[in-house]
Amino acid sequence: MLKKFCLLLFLPLVISACTPRRAIVHHPLVKETHPPRIAQQPEFIIVDAGHGGKDSGTLSTRYDYEEKHLTLSTAHMISRYLNYLGYETEMTRYDDIYIPLSKRAEIANSHKADLFVSIHYNSSPSESADGVEVFYYNEEESLERALESKSLGTKVLSRLIRHTGANSRGVKTANFAVIRETKMPAVLVEAGFLTNAEERKKLQDPHYRRFIAWGIACGIDEYCCQNRSSP
């Protein structure tokens, strides 16, 4: 009975796609032998795991977490899911090393990436603060990039909320270096608050982080599919 329940729980999820051959994509916990592929040249996406090395990000010895480890774990998952969906990816860091903010943007620019997505987990003086928010840089010099970044952020947030059930804090503008200095559409995702006890418990669970990663990957996929179908 338990085995049957688990199978029902992880039934395939239907997501939007560009072609009928990619119309059904399975839940990330279900292994696929033949992943769907994109017919044309796939987009190249940089996945940035926030912090690293001497920069731990949000941390707590009491609750045994460091943001840098959670972002790296999530970034690896996102990269794998995007590869599964047919995209090419590169990460700004693959291990627990320190990468300056300027270098992260330089990596994306030098690779001439199509998109840049930075992964973070939030903190707040208020322990009741919770939810997911996505940031983009609103620049007057490149309005088109700003609009594309906002569109990407909107789709990523929508999918994240759908797959995690987390509270939406919206898509906002910010002057973070990694999304300001990159030359392609770029967003920074704050995928939950480590300072909120209930949310922290979820974020420390790798199974929940899979849903975060899958939601982000699906949002990116939706954005790319829409752009490909646009005249």
pLDDT tens-digit readout, 145-180: 999 999 999 999 999 999 999 999 999 999 999 999
How confident is the model over 130-147, as pLDDT tens digits? 999 999 999 878 899 999
* Residue numbers of the domain that contains 90: 41-229
Q: Quote the pTM value.
A: 0.85
Residue 93 inside a domain? The answer is: yes
Residue 28 inside a domain? The answer is: no
Residues 6+ apart with CB under 8 A from 106: 181
| pLDDT on residue 20 | 30
Residue 124 inside a domain? The answer is: yes
Residue 17 inside a domain? The answer is: no
Residue 29 inside a domain? The answer is: no
How confident is the model over 92-103, as pLDDT tens digits? 999 999 999 999
Tell me the two tokens of residue 47: 């996945």
203: exposed, middle or buried (Cβ count in 10 Å: 0-12, 13-18, 19+):
buried
* Cβ count within 10 A of residue 11: 10
Residue 189 inside a domain? The answer is: yes
For residue 101, give the CATH number of its domain: 3.40.630.40
Domain count, the chain: 1
